[in-house]
Amino acid sequence: MEATAQEVDAAVRAADQARGALTDRAVRAAFLRTAAERLEAAKDQLVEAADAETALGPVRLTGELARTCYQLRAFADIVDEGAFLDVVINHPDDTATPPIPDLRRYKVPLGVVAVYSASNFPFAFSVAGGDTASALAAGCPVVVKAHPDHPALSELVAKVLRTAAKAHGVPAGVVGLVHGFEAGIALIEHPLVSAAGFTGSVRGGRALFDAAAARPVPIPFHGELGSLNPVLITEAAAAERAEAIGAGLAGSMTLGVGQFCVKPGLVLAPAGASGDRLVKSLTDAVSDTDPGVLLDHRMRDNFLAGVAERAELPEVDSPVTPGAGGEHTVSAGFLTVPAGKLAQEGTYDLLLEECFGPVTVVARYEDEAEAKAVLSRLPGNLTATVHLSTEEAAGQGRGPELLAELTPLAGRVLVNGWPTGVAVAPAQHHGGPYPATTSTSTSVGGTAIERWLRPVVYQGAPEALLPPELRDDNPLGLPRRFNGRLER
């Protein structure tokens, strides 16, 4: 089933030849909506195939498929609106210093996009996921490198997308699919691939990022790699609602058997009595969590080895021991450690690395300075969360200061919430400083389309030569900025 170099080349060339069929925005929008409709029509077959390969369960998978279809329709709406083209027109102005010539700017698609599927979201971050939806919306064909954990589902979804494409006169090659590690390397190196999107491990993502940069013509690589997703709980917040915070943390860290990219992996909690109440609540809630199945045995082995290595560190306690729940399952748990142990480089650095699965580390801090010292050591993250008291959330005390301290750490900063659950919305940002991602872009939300576009300016071009998007009479009715005025 692994694709040869020749098969990768054929898939990329077929995608490149399909570019012209995506030029019409109306066709792109209709294609995306039809894809959503046909995925919904095939729901039973797709969910059954996904569950057989991932064991994520029909309820979770049905919800994820619904999210995927919503996302396709959301990008169709974005295509219809046209604001993503970012049209800006400046007429000549000889009175300016220096004089301004006739300038007309908009964005054009980059070309074929390589998409690398994720293991933990077989629909939403896979063949028909956000990278594919946003690339097609931008006018870019895709070639998807299927994840080895769900190859049969990947083939089924690709087939649905291709039938949706053909319904609108778009060649089936607009969505290519290849399997295998070597195929993934050949894909990123192919000269007709213009950009790539990736969701996965730091090691795998960094290798592909380096390969993208080492090409004779480097290309943008938008990778989501890994994240600890720190949570800071103030002493006042713990005193006010320790039990609720502990229960909420348990639900977030065990959701999806801890296999979400925004699982809270490090929690800074106070060392006093209120922190003890929080840990007891967390202990009770995690103890009641049933064992679950990880996506494959490699991940299970890594989880068991990772938690064992962490638990063996001096002064690390395990109120609920994470580990093997059965022959194929794992049980959730958490570790505690004095926060001071994490404040300096050394033995405890492992606790500041992501451990994929249902486990988190609760670091108990003695004072604000100790908590701040730990935060200062963290790399980039997808999310950072702070739990504040009612007064702190109203702007009293250190609330504003804590928000400012967390902002450099992550692309999404939460107050009194939990990071698991990434809403598909225009204002969403799912990204963050390295190693969370390799760029400043998002892989979720409307602005994800920007990754697959580049700006072009025409200077002094006669109206007759301009694309319709840039003509004065605006025949397509696009939102634009015309001589400094925003027109809708």
The CA-atom distances, in angstroms, between 332 and each of 14, 324, 335, 359 are: 46, 9, 11, 6
Q: Which residue has the tokens 């996302």?
A: 71
Residue 349: pLDDT band with limits 50, 70, 90: very high
Residue 98 has pLDDT above 80, yes or no: yes
Residue 481: what pLDDT?
97
Residue 403: pLDDT band with limits 50, 70, 90: very high
Summarize pLDDT for 419-473 with one digit per residue, the tens: 998 999 999 999 999 999 999 999 999 999 999 999 999 999 999 999 999 999 9
Burial of 305 (0-12, 13-18, 19+ CB in 10 A): exposed
Fold of 5-225+439-482: Aldehyde Dehydrogenase; Chain A, domain 1 (3.40.605)
Residue 328 has pLDDT above 90, yes or no: no
Residue 282 has pLDDT above 90, yes or no: yes
Residue 56: pLDDT band with limits 50, 70, 90: very high
Q: What is the mean pLDDT of the chain?
A: 96
Q: Which of 189, 261, 355, 370 is catalytic?
A: 261
Residue 33: pLDDT band with limits 50, 70, 90: very high
Q: Which residues pair with 195 in a beta bridge?
A: 113
Residue 361 has pLDDT above 80, yes or no: yes
Q: Cβ of 266: how many Cβ atoms within 10 Å?
A: 25
Q: In which element (H, E) is residue 385 found?
A: strand 381-387
Residue 26 has pLDDT above 80, yes or no: yes
Asked if the 231-415 domain carries CATH number 3.40.50.2300, the reply is no
Q: Which two tokens stand for residue 34?
A: 């039809």
Indicate if 231-415 has the same CATH topology as 5-225+439-482: no
The CA-atom distances, in angstroms, between 288 and each of 244, 260, 292 are: 15, 20, 12
Instruction: Tell me the percentage of the chain whose pLDDT exceeds 70.
Output: 100
The rounded distance, in Å, linking the Cα atoms of 435 and 454 is 24
Instruction: List the domain boundaries for the chain.
Output: 5-225+439-482, 231-415
Residue 341: what pLDDT?
96
Q: Which residues pair with 267 in a beta bridge?
A: 231, 362
Residue 137 has pLDDT above 90, yes or no: yes
Average pLDDT over every residue of 103-129: 97
Burial of 314 (0-12, 13-18, 19+ CB in 10 A): exposed
Cβ neighbours of residue 312 closer than 8 Å, sequence gap 6 or more:
none
Phi, psi for 388 (deg, rounded to 5): -115, 160
Residue 326: what pLDDT?
82
pTM of the model: 0.95
The rounded distance, in Å, linking the Cα atoms of 79 and 139 is 9
Contact of 320 with 334, CB cutoff 8 Å: yes
Residue 74: what pLDDT?
98
Contact of 111 with 16, CB cutoff 8 Å: yes
The rounded distance, in Å, linking the Cα atoms of 374 and 344 is 8
Contact of 247 with 407, CB cutoff 8 Å: no
Residue 374 has pLDDT above 90, yes or no: yes
Q: Which two tokens stand for residue 443?
A: 């892989």
DSSP letter, residue 200: S
Residue 327: what pLDDT?
82
Residue 488: what pLDDT?
84
The rounded distance, in Å, linking the Cα atoms of 422 and 442 is 11
Summarize pLDDT for 406-419 with one digit per residue, the tens: 999 999 999 999 99
Amino acid at 15: A
If you write DSSP's letter for every residue of 218-261 in order, what string do you get?
---EEEE------EEE-HHHHHHHHHHHHHHHHHHHHGGGG-ST
Q: Is 469 annotated as catalytic?
A: no
Q: Which two tokens stand for residue 180?
A: 């295998």
The rounded distance, in Å, linking the Cα atoms of 311 and 150 is 32
Q: Is 261 annotated as catalytic?
A: yes
Residue in 164, 92, 105 with CA at minimum distance from that of residue 132: 164
Q: Which of 53, 64, 189, 224 is catalytic?
A: 224
Average pLDDT over every residue of 330-347: 95
Residue 1 has pLDDT above 80, yes or no: no
Q: Cβ of 368: how many Cβ atoms within 10 Å?
A: 15
The residue ranking higher by pLDDT, 327 or 272, is: 272
Which range among 175-179, 294-298, 325-329 has the greatest average pLDDT?
A: 175-179
Helix ranges restricted to H, 18-114: 25-41, 43-54, 58-81
Average pLDDT over every residue of 347-363: 96
Residue in 132, 176, 147 with CA at minimum distance from that of residue 35: 132
Residue 396 has pLDDT above 90, yes or no: no
Summarize pLDDT for 175-217 with one digit per residue, the tens: 999 999 999 999 999 999 999 999 999 999 999 999 999 999 9
Burial of 296 (0-12, 13-18, 19+ CB in 10 A): middle
